[in-house]
Chains A and B, each alone.
Chain A
Amino acid sequence: MPASIASLLSIALGAVLVNNFVLSQFLGICPFMGVSKKVDTALGMGMAVIFVMGVASAVNWPINKFILERQYGGGGTLEFLQTVTFILVIASLVQFVEMFLQKSVPSLYEALGVYLPLITTNCAVLGVVLQNTQKGYTFAESLTYGIGGGIGFLVAIVLFASVRERMEFGKCPKSFEGFPIALVAASLIALAFMGFSGLKVW
């Protein structure tokens, strides 16, 4: 299908708001809860996720298209290998990117810091790649969906981090302190994002 600018925009907007990876699809909850204590660190994590999601979408698309979806003898394809292959690719990719950045762009490497290797195990990245294949996106669409999903993650985690920073000052029952109240807050933000469901621009 021809990828017009409008359809790309709608995919991106959908990934950021309507199908937000964290708040609508509940993917990548671990880093969402773990790295959202401060807005600064949340911002770093979000940036790293945008970067890795974009690159992972771009790299996995040709692998899926030319290796996994190819018809082998007997008419079967290797699509059942998608999950394990994508994990392999993402893990190596993150390692490679980390080495590359450390050598070539040390400033960016230091800015991303510990978050880059953390993303290896971020299920939102795997989710993006798997959904790309399920929805049959073209290369451009996959890339858009990947970067859009990363931006959605950034939006969610930064919003949540600023909420949590304020919650530090609030008083709540002893048994709710820490993670329980954070989970409650996360669910309220998710509820708010439900308002976007059904949003169609184009």
Chain B
Amino acid sequence: MSTTIVAPIVLTILGIVFGAILAFASKIFAVEKDPREEAISEILPGANCGGCGYPGCGGFANAVVKGLAPVDACAPGGPGTAAKIGEIMGIEVEAGVRKVAQVMCSGGGHEKLRYEYVGLESCLAQSRVSSGPLQCSYGCLGGGDCVDACKFDAIHIIDGVAKVDEGKCVACNACVTACPKNIIRIIPRKSKKYAELPCSSHDKGPATRKACDNGCIGCNLCVKACPKEGAIKVENFLATINYEICIGCGMCSRACPRKLITIDGVVLPPKPKKEAPKADAAAKPAAKPAEAAPKAEAAPAAEAPKAEAPAAPAEAPKAEAPAAPAEAPKAEAPAAPAEEPKAE
């Protein structure tokens, strides 16, 4: 038999043999796949962002089916996806709270440098050189490591500081892990208005003042202004907002002498009350009350006095005396007459 005839025969036989082995093996080694896993994979966004802590969306679907992961752990999918997954798994899902990333630095000190940094434009590299060029060792370096990490184009460097685009942010945690300064965190957005306290500095007041235009000095004025117990507290010279409790009323923003706390991105003007005699009011006493008064009455007129009523009168004199003794007397004069009729 010549090789021309043998060759196709041999190949055909080999092909049939291997085909048969594979067909047989697929029966023997068949692994039962849970149909739910496939169904869940289809619902998931497919961004493979890893925010849930599992390698990709497939890994998350697997973990959900095995009962290792909660059904609402997919941040990009949001509550809609969680509800659908819950349906597949037969679990009721509570309406989840939307979460967003928050950069805990306002950038008030990004021009106050200790040295000129020349090198790689990366936060990680900058932070390795004696923890960055900024005077404030807690400040955002603006190198853009978080921007690179974000798969949703939701964080940008604006004026040298990272800013989160709340509309796009899905709280996937990528920027949090990317930041070498650990100043980005994920917070729940419960209240309608969004109070932000963008500072991470645990330095003492004078040091913070030197290094930053508006860093938190731990003066406690916001804590005293807050109508909700525990919504804001000062630890190690840094005030932090507890978003589980915060209602976004903005009293802290009005009280803050550093103009650090913002409500929906805006620093509320000090109320023409005990908040008025702060550094700012002292600097331009004529302009401030004029623009502050109409705004204060227009927007939060309804909620502010109500919330203030029980807390403020008792604490006001006490709070002022130890915290800002130097500034208080100067500014009290123009503000006091205006305030008294309103408060009582």
Measuring CB to CB, which residues of chain A are less than 8 angstroms from any residue of chain B?
63, 67-68, 72-74, 76-78, 80-81, 84-85, 88-89, 92, 95-96, 99-100, 102-104, 169
In the complex where A96-B25, A99-B29, A102-B31 touch, is A85 in contact with B14 (Cβ < 8 A)? yes
Interface size of B in residues (CB-CB distance below 8 Å): 22
Residues of A within 8 A of B25 (CB): 96, 99-100
Q: Are A89 and B2 in contact (CB under 8 A)?
A: no
Q: Are A76 and B3 in contact (CB under 8 A)?
A: yes
In the complex where A74-B1, A74-B2, A100-B29 touch, is A81 in contact with B10 (Cβ < 8 A)? yes
Number of A-B contacts (CB under 8 A): 58
State the CA gap A68–B3 with chains docked (Å). Answer: 10
Residues of B within 8 A of A84 (CB): 11
Residues of A within 8 A of B6 (CB): 72-73, 78
Contact residues, B191-225 vs A (CB, 8 A): none
B1-36 near A? 1/0 per residue, CB < 8 Å: 111001100110011001101100110111100000
State the CA gap A117–B221 with chains docked (Å). Answer: 63
Q: Are B18 and A92 in contact (CB under 8 A)?
A: yes
CB of B120 within 8 A of chain A?
A: yes
Q: Are A169 and B122 in contact (CB under 8 A)?
A: yes
In the complex where A67-B10, A81-B11, A92-B21 touch, is A99 in contact with B3 (Cβ < 8 A)? no
Residues of A within 8 A of B122 (CB): 169
Q: Are B3 and A72 in contact (CB under 8 A)?
A: yes
Residues of B within 8 A of A78 (CB): 3, 6-7, 10
In the complex where A92-B22, A169-B122 touch, is A76 in contact with B10 (Cβ < 8 A)? no
Residues of A within 8 A of B120 (CB): 169
Option from A76, A92, A96 in Cβ contact (under 8 Å) with B2: A76
Q: Which residue of chain B has its CB nearest to the CB of A77?
A: B3
CB of B326 within 8 A of chain A?
A: no
Q: Are B125 and A103 in contact (CB under 8 A)?
A: no
Q: Are A73 and B1 in contact (CB under 8 A)?
A: yes
Distance (whole angstroms) from the CB of B3 to the closest CB of chain A: 4
16 further contact pairs, Cβ within 8 A, besides A67-B14, A84-B11:
A63-B14, A67-B10, A72-B3, A72-B6, A73-B2, A76-B2, A77-B3, A78-B6, A81-B10, A88-B11, A89-B18, A95-B22, A96-B21, A99-B29, A102-B31, A103-B29
State the CA gap A92–B17 with chains docked (Å). Answer: 10
State the CA gap A49–B122 with chains docked (Å). Answer: 36
Distance (whole angstroms) from the CB of B54 to the closest CB of chain A: 12
Q: Are A81 and B7 in contact (CB under 8 A)?
A: yes
Q: Are B26 and A99 in contact (CB under 8 A)?
A: yes
Can you sample 12 A-B contacts with CB below 8 Å?
A68-B10, A74-B1, A78-B10, A81-B11, A84-B11, A88-B14, A92-B21, A96-B21, A96-B25, A99-B22, A103-B30, A103-B31
Q: Are A96 and B22 in contact (CB under 8 A)?
A: yes
State the CA gap A73–B31 with chains docked (Å). Answer: 46
Q: Are A104 and B29 in contact (CB under 8 A)?
A: yes
What 5 A-B pairs are tightest by C-beta distance, nearest first?
Answer: A76-B3, A103-B29, A92-B18, A73-B1, A99-B29
Residues of B within 8 A of A100 (CB): 25, 29
Measuring CB to CB, which residues of chain B are less than 8 angstroms from any residue of chain A?
1-3, 6-7, 10-11, 14-15, 18-19, 21-22, 25-26, 28-31, 120, 122, 125
In the complex where A81-B10, A81-B11, A100-B25 touch, is A74 in contact with B31 (Cβ < 8 A)? no
State the CA gap A16–B26 with chains docked (Å). Answer: 35
Q: Are A88 and B29 in contact (CB under 8 A)?
A: no
Distance (whole angstroms) from the CB of B242 to the closest CB of chain A: 38
Residues of A within 8 A of B19 (CB): 92
Distance (whole angstroms) from the CB of A20 to the closest CB of chain B: 31
State the CA gap A100–B28 with chains docked (Å). Answer: 9
Distance (whole angstroms) from the CB of A40 to the closest CB of chain B: 11
Distance (whole angstroms) from the CB of A112 to the closest CB of chain B: 14
Residues of B within 8 A of A96 (CB): 21-22, 25
Q: Which residue of chain B has its CB nearest to the CB of A98?
A: B29
State the CA gap A63–B15 with chains docked (Å). Answer: 13
Distance (whole angstroms) from the CB of B143 to the closest CB of chain A: 12
Residues of B within 8 A of A72 (CB): 1-3, 6
Distance (whole angstroms) from the CB of A84 to the closest CB of chain B: 7
Residues of A within 8 A of B31 (CB): 102-103
Q: Which residue of chain A has its CB nearest to the CB of B27?
A: A99
Q: Are A88 and B15 in contact (CB under 8 A)?
A: yes
Q: Are B125 and A88 in contact (CB under 8 A)?
A: no
Q: Which residue of chain B has its CB nearest to the CB of A68?
A: B10
Q: Are A102 and B29 in contact (CB under 8 A)?
A: yes
Residues of B within 8 A of A81 (CB): 7, 10-11
State the CA gap A118–B307 with chains docked (Å). Answer: 65
State the CA gap A109–B7 with chains docked (Å). Answer: 36
Interface centre among A63, A73, A104 (most CB of B within 10 A): A73
